[in-house]
Amino acid sequence: MTVIADEEVQGAEGFDTKQYSASDGLILSYRDYGQKSRDKVPVMCLAGLTRNSVDFHETALRLAAAGHRVIAPDYRGRGKSSYDPDWRNYNPFTHLGDVDNLLTALNLHKVVIIGTSFGGLLSMAMAVSRPTILAGVVLNDVGPEIDPNGLARIAGYVGAKVEFSNWDDVARRMMHSYSPAYPDYSDDDWMHMARTSFQINKSGMIVPDYDLNLGKALAEAGASPDMWPYFAALQSVPTLALRGALSDILSEETFQRMQEMNSDMVAVTVSNRGHTPELVEPVCREAIDEFIARL
């Protein structure tokens, strides 16, 4: 597993963009913040289903400034990573293998995982597949049980072919789709979400920044497995769980059950946020910084 530095963007905006080769040869990308930091536990940030490393930029800068090396990969088919010619590889097992390959390539033996949504599910799976590598886990608005209403909402847009000719239309689309989760967002916030969710394709149109074939993989996946045993495996791992008070993915009932099952878990509810908190909210910053500092 060879790590290949992208020299053209080295050092840009506080991070280096690098590449590595997955086990099947696909070239994948990741951001490396504070790579010279060695005195504190490194952090790996795993994004949501259609998201990528850009979501963790502010959090990664803050943690890097505090002395942590922060790794934020783009899953295959997202961000700057290559799209997989076989969409059937867009499954949790392949993604777990890619994460494992990256950890091995970087010679990281103990990390804190910050997992947003799908990234949190991968974190729970790692508690079973690679428990000794976890110094701690932050679950961002995800648990072992997914609310059917939120799952239906996600299934309704993942893989949908949409394109725009100007960014204002994209921002309006974001506001129309996600205002229940971010009721206090300004026009600038919606534009930022648009810019971090879409890209300009070769035809000059603005399209989602992920492989639309991900929708096929999601449709074929069917019912999710019982994740409660995976969550139970986190009982031996320091865990912080964040929940958006308006979330349609992590219900209040599931969140309460998680706390009952794992009494050592730190549980924080983020007001005025749905799925998912951005992690830059003051309550999130404070909770994450205190949690990681204790490790």
Mean pLDDT in residue range 8-24: 80
Phi and psi at residue 115, in whole multiples of 5°?
Answer: -115, 115
Tell me the average pLDDT of the chain: 94
**Does 81 have pLDDT greater than 50?**
yes
Handedness of CA 276, 232, 238, 54 (dihedral sign): negative
The three-class DSSP label of residue 269 is: strand
Mean pLDDT in residue range 73-96: 97
Query: How confident is residue 39, by pLDDT bands cut at 50, 70 and 90?
Result: confident
Distance, CA of 104 to chain centre: 20
**Does 1 have pLDDT greater than 50?**
no
Handedness of CA 267, 64, 71, 75 (dihedral sign): positive
The token pair at 85 is 């010619």
> How high is the pLDDT of residue 225?
82
Note the pLDDT tens digit of each residue in 97-118. 999 999 999 999 999 999 999 9
Q: Which of 24, 49, 64, 16 is nearest to 140 (CA)?
A: 49
> How high is the pLDDT of residue 23?
95
Note the pLDDT tens digit of each residue in 197-239. 999 999 999 999 999 999 999 999 877 789 999 999 999 999 9
| Cβ count near 272 (within 10 Å) | 13
Domains and CATH numbers, the chain: 3-148+227-294 (3.40.50.1820)
CA separation for the pair 293, 295 (Å, rounded): 5
> How high is the pLDDT of residue 221?
86
Note the pLDDT tens digit of each residue in 132-166. 999 999 999 999 999 999 999 999 999 999 999 99
**Does 7 have pLDDT greater than 80?**
no
- Number of C-alpha atoms within 13 angstroms, CB side, residue 199? 14
| Residues β-bridged to residue 241 | 139, 267
Q: Are 75 and 89 in contact (CB under 8 A)?
A: no
- The rounded percent of the chain whose pLDDT value lies above 90 is 92
- The rounded percent of the chain whose pLDDT value lies above 70 is 96
Q: Are 211 and 78 in contact (CB under 8 A)?
A: yes
Angle between helices 214-221 and 148-157 (to 10 degrees): 150
Q: Which of 101, 93, 149 is nearest to 121 (CA)?
A: 93
> How high is the pLDDT of residue 234?
97
CA separation for the pair 78, 98 (Å, rounded): 13
